[in-house]
Amino acid sequence: MYLCRCNLSFASKYKHVPSEFQNKIIMYYTKIIVQHKDGSKAKGVKVSLSINGIFSGGVTPNSYTDRFGEAIISHESRGSAKVLVNGTTRTTIQVPGETVVFI
Protein backbone atom coordinates (compact mmCIF):
# COMPACT_ATOMS: atom_id res chain seq x y z
CA MET A 1 0.00 0.00 0.00
CA TYR A 2 1.27 3.43 -0.92
CA LEU A 3 0.30 6.52 1.09
CA CYS A 4 0.85 10.23 0.59
CA ARG A 5 -0.32 13.35 2.38
CA CYS A 6 -1.11 16.31 0.14
CA ASN A 7 -2.39 19.86 0.75
CA LEU A 8 -6.10 20.47 0.35
CA SER A 9 -6.81 24.15 0.96
CA PHE A 10 -10.62 24.08 0.97
CA ALA A 11 -10.83 21.47 3.78
CA SER A 12 -9.97 24.08 6.40
CA LYS A 13 -13.17 26.00 5.53
CA TYR A 14 -15.38 23.22 6.86
CA LYS A 15 -15.92 22.97 10.62
CA HIS A 16 -16.67 19.23 10.52
CA VAL A 17 -13.08 18.43 9.44
CA PRO A 18 -10.96 17.58 12.53
CA SER A 19 -8.11 20.04 12.98
CA GLU A 20 -5.42 17.36 12.52
CA PHE A 21 -6.79 16.72 9.01
CA GLN A 22 -7.33 20.31 7.93
CA ASN A 23 -5.25 21.18 4.88
CA LYS A 24 -4.45 17.47 4.44
CA ILE A 25 -5.85 14.71 2.31
CA ILE A 26 -4.66 11.14 2.27
CA MET A 27 -3.94 9.71 -1.17
CA TYR A 28 -3.65 6.00 -1.78
CA TYR A 29 -1.93 4.28 -4.69
CA THR A 30 -2.80 1.01 -6.40
CA LYS A 31 -0.56 -0.80 -8.88
CA ILE A 32 -2.20 -2.64 -11.78
CA ILE A 33 0.06 -4.87 -13.88
CA VAL A 34 -1.36 -5.75 -17.29
CA GLN A 35 -0.01 -8.73 -19.23
CA HIS A 36 -1.01 -10.49 -22.41
CA LYS A 37 -2.07 -14.13 -22.07
CA ASP A 38 1.36 -15.19 -23.38
CA GLY A 39 2.97 -13.40 -20.39
CA SER A 40 4.33 -10.39 -22.28
CA LYS A 41 3.85 -6.94 -20.76
CA ALA A 42 1.08 -4.76 -22.20
CA LYS A 43 2.38 -1.24 -22.90
CA GLY A 44 0.06 1.78 -23.34
CA VAL A 45 -3.10 0.11 -22.05
CA LYS A 46 -5.77 2.35 -20.45
CA VAL A 47 -6.49 1.41 -16.82
CA SER A 48 -8.83 2.92 -14.21
CA LEU A 49 -10.62 1.94 -11.00
CA SER A 50 -14.32 2.15 -10.20
CA ILE A 51 -14.35 2.41 -6.43
CA ASN A 52 -17.50 1.53 -4.50
CA GLY A 53 -18.89 3.99 -1.98
CA ILE A 54 -21.84 6.29 -1.55
CA PHE A 55 -19.87 9.45 -0.85
CA SER A 56 -16.27 8.47 -1.47
CA GLY A 57 -16.64 6.26 -4.54
CA GLY A 58 -16.28 7.02 -8.21
CA VAL A 59 -14.09 6.31 -11.21
CA THR A 60 -10.46 7.38 -11.18
CA PRO A 61 -8.91 9.27 -14.09
CA ASN A 62 -7.36 7.03 -16.75
CA SER A 63 -3.79 5.85 -16.31
CA TYR A 64 -1.72 4.06 -18.94
CA THR A 65 0.65 1.16 -18.52
CA ASP A 66 4.36 1.76 -19.00
CA ARG A 67 6.80 -0.51 -20.86
CA PHE A 68 6.69 -2.91 -17.91
CA GLY A 69 2.90 -3.20 -18.13
CA GLU A 70 2.48 -1.29 -14.86
CA ALA A 71 0.04 1.52 -14.11
CA ILE A 72 0.00 3.35 -10.78
CA ILE A 73 -3.41 4.82 -9.96
CA SER A 74 -3.88 7.43 -7.23
CA HIS A 75 -7.17 7.60 -5.37
CA GLU A 76 -8.65 9.03 -2.16
CA SER A 77 -10.85 6.08 -1.15
CA ARG A 78 -10.30 2.60 0.21
CA GLY A 79 -12.44 -0.48 -0.27
CA SER A 80 -13.72 -2.63 -3.10
CA ALA A 81 -12.98 -1.51 -6.65
CA LYS A 82 -13.53 -2.82 -10.16
CA VAL A 83 -10.41 -2.80 -12.34
CA LEU A 84 -11.23 -1.38 -15.77
CA VAL A 85 -8.85 -2.19 -18.62
CA ASN A 86 -9.63 -0.38 -21.88
CA GLY A 87 -13.08 0.35 -20.44
CA THR A 88 -13.92 -3.30 -19.64
CA THR A 89 -14.23 -4.63 -16.08
CA ARG A 90 -11.60 -7.35 -15.62
CA THR A 91 -11.69 -8.07 -11.88
CA THR A 92 -12.63 -6.67 -8.47
CA ILE A 93 -9.98 -6.02 -5.82
CA GLN A 94 -9.53 -4.30 -2.47
CA VAL A 95 -7.76 -0.95 -2.82
CA PRO A 96 -5.17 0.22 -2.15
CA GLY A 97 -3.32 -2.82 -3.36
CA GLU A 98 -1.75 -4.51 -6.35
CA THR A 99 -2.96 -7.04 -8.90
CA VAL A 100 -2.09 -8.61 -12.23
CA VAL A 101 -4.67 -8.56 -15.03
CA PHE A 102 -4.38 -10.69 -18.16
CA ILE A 103 -5.82 -9.49 -21.47
Question: pLDDT tens-digit profile of 37-78?
Answer: 999 999 999 999 999 976 667 899 999 999 999 999 999 889
- For the stretch 11-48, pLDDT in tens is 434 445 566 656 667 899 999 999 999 999 999 999 99
3-state secondary structure (DSSP) of residue 92: strand
Q: Name the H helices within 26-96.
A: none
CATH architecture assignment, domain 30-102 = Sandwich (2.60)
* Alpha-carbon gap, residue 93 to 99, rounded angstroms: 8
Residues in the chain: 103
